Structure 1
Amino acid sequence: MKIIKIALSILFLVCLFDMPYGYFQLVRFLGMIGFIVLAYNYYPKNQNWSILWVSSAILINPFIKITLGREIWNIVDVSFAIVLTYSAFKKSKSLK
């Protein structure tokens, strides 16, 4: 799971640069899949993290887009990167 979190963090941080629209679509799709996988793996052991990952997947899903504006999406991207990095390196007794 650590590799998924780090990869998603990098994808979200690259969104801060001036990228083509197709990249953002790719990030939405990969992010949704990554968050769903994380939610599935966390659900039986830690429901709080699972709820966070499901909420994140809903927010960035590419099918029903939520329009927030570039500045707010930048804040969301940085927040995702921080939370993902934190959870990747946090010592957990119940989930590794």
Structure 2
Amino acid sequence: MSNESLSPFPCNACGKCCRRVSASPETAFLDRGDGVCQHFVEETHLCAIYETRPLVCRVEDYYRAKLKEVIAWDDFVRLNVAICEKL
């Protein structure tokens, strides 16, 4: 699968994943002490460091770097959307 063929991850910027960074060992380092990402801006539901956010927060880039040999992009998206809906 080429980099160009990935459709964008359907994020609606709700901030639910940013409010639960302590739930995953891969994002726990972002926890400000209450489970919420230290870079999450409550008022806007946006990331204060969006342009320089860690790899784990850049869905398409993280997939390319860590998972493209493990799972198909469409399957990865389906699994993650299901997780989003449960949050």
**TM-score, structure 1 as length reference:** 0.33
Q: Which one has a larger percent helix, Structure 1 or Structure 2?
A: 1
Higher relative contact order (CA 8 A, sep 6+): 1
**Alignment TM-score, normalising by the size of structure 2:** 0.36
